[in-house]
Structure 1
Amino acid sequence: MAQVLLVEDDSALRTSLSGGLGERGHAVTSAVTAMDGLNRIVAHKPDIVVLDIGLPDLDGREMLRMLRAASRVPVIVATARGAEDEIVSVLDSGADDYVVKPFGVGQLDARIRAVLRREGAGPGRPEALVVGGLRVDPATRSATLDGNALDLNPREFDLLRYLAARAGRVVSKRELLTEVWQLPYGGADKTVDVHVSWLRRKLGETARDARYLHTVRGAGVLLTAPDDAGGR
C-alpha cells in the first residue's frame, strides 16, 4: 500500500481516482491547489504524488519545480496534452512519470507501482551503485564522484542511475528514451544527447576526453570506470 497525494482540482475526477486507488489498497489524500499540495507534502510526506498540470493557483510544472527544490518524492504528472514536447517538458521539470488524460484508475495504479519499484520503495534498501570513483545511491537519490557530491537534476540522476546499473554495457538511445524518459514510442535522440552532454560536464569530462561516459557511434551510450575504458 502506498500513501498517495492526489493534487487535482476537478472534483469528479478527484473523487473517482481517490475511490479507485483506495479500492486497490492505497491510502489517498487530496489537495485542490498547488499551495495546499505543497503544504501537505511537507506535513505528511506521502510515498508518491499524482499532480495535475492545470491547477487554479499555480501551473503544475511551476509547483513541480518548487517541490524539487525541497523534496525527492516521486511525482506522476497528469496532463491533457500528449505531444512529445509537452511530455519532455514535464519530465525535465522533475516528474518521474506522466499519464495523459483521459486515463483509467487501473493505468494510474500500474504507473504508481512501477514508479515505486524504480524508486526502491518498500521492504529493503536498494544498494548503492559503484563504478570506479562514481557512487550512485538510489535510496537517497544522490551521487558522488571521488567523494565529492554531484549536483544533478532529477533527469540527470535518473539517467546516471540507469547507466550505472548497466555499467560496461552499451545502452541504446531508444532504450534510454523508453526506460528513463518513459517514452515507449520513441522520441528524439537529441533529448538523450543533450542530457548526456550535461551529465558529462558535471562529471568533469567532455565527449573528446571521456572518462566515464562514452558515446558508441550507431549503438548508444556506455558508462564504465576509467580503468575499464580500454582505449575507447
Structure 2
Amino acid sequence: MSAVDQGRLAEQIAAGTRMLVMEGILDYSGHISARVPGTDHVMIQSASDSRAELDPARILTVDMDGNVVRGDLKPPLELALHLEILRARPDVEAVLHCHMELAIAFTLMKGVTLQPMRARASRWASGIPTHPFPSLIRTTEQAQDLAKTLGEHHAALIRSHGMVLVAESVPGLFVDAVHFLENANQHMMVLQAGQEPLPLTDEEIAIISGPRDFHIAKLWNYYVRQGQSKGLIPEDWNTTV
C-alpha cells in the first residue's frame, strides 16, 4: 500500500471517528481500527488522543502482536479486542468498539433482545449476540472470547459495557453505526410505547435489496459534507469513496 493510500486510510479513520462523535456514537472513549491492505498491520488511534479532534498524522500502525511499528504513542487499552476480531475474521477490514448507551440498555433488560426493526437493519439478520463479560477487553484471551461471541455476525453487544461492529471498510463501518443506532432507537420507541416489537421477518428481509456500495458512498459523503460545514472535517482531507 502506497504512502498516499495509507494517508487516505488514516484520514478516513480520523474523519469517521470525528463524525461518530458528531452523531453521539463515540465520546471520550472507543475507537476504529482498519487493516492496512497488503500488510499484516492495523491502523488505530492512540489511547489518549481526543476522538473529537483526531489527527490522521497521529494515528498509530501496529502489527498483529500489538507492537507499534509507526508512531510514538501508546495504543488503546483494548487493542487486543480489535486484533483478535481481525485475526478471527479475514473478511473484515474495519472494527468499531464503542459504548453506545442505547446498545448497552439492551444488555440490561431481562428477556429483551435487540432485533432488526428498520429496513437497513437487515444487515444484522443473522443476529446480534451479547457477550457476557462486562469489563475492559484487554487480554488476548478476553478478546478471543469476544471474537467467538461475535462469530460470523456483523455486530455484538457487550454486557453493561458497549458493543462492536465490523465491516468491509471504514465508510461501511460508519454507515452501519448510524443505522445501528437508528434501529436501536426504533426498537426502544416501541418498547416505551408499551407495545410488542414486530421485528423484520425472514421473508421481509429476503426482499430488502439495494446496492450496498452505492448506499455507503451516498451516506458517507453526506456526513462528510455535514462535518465539513461544521468545521469538523478539513476540506483537504481525502475522504471520498
* TM-score bracket for this pair, using the shorter chain length: under 0.3
TM (norm. structure 2) is: 0.26
Structure with the greater alpha carbon radius of gyration: 1
| Greater per-residue strand proportion | 1
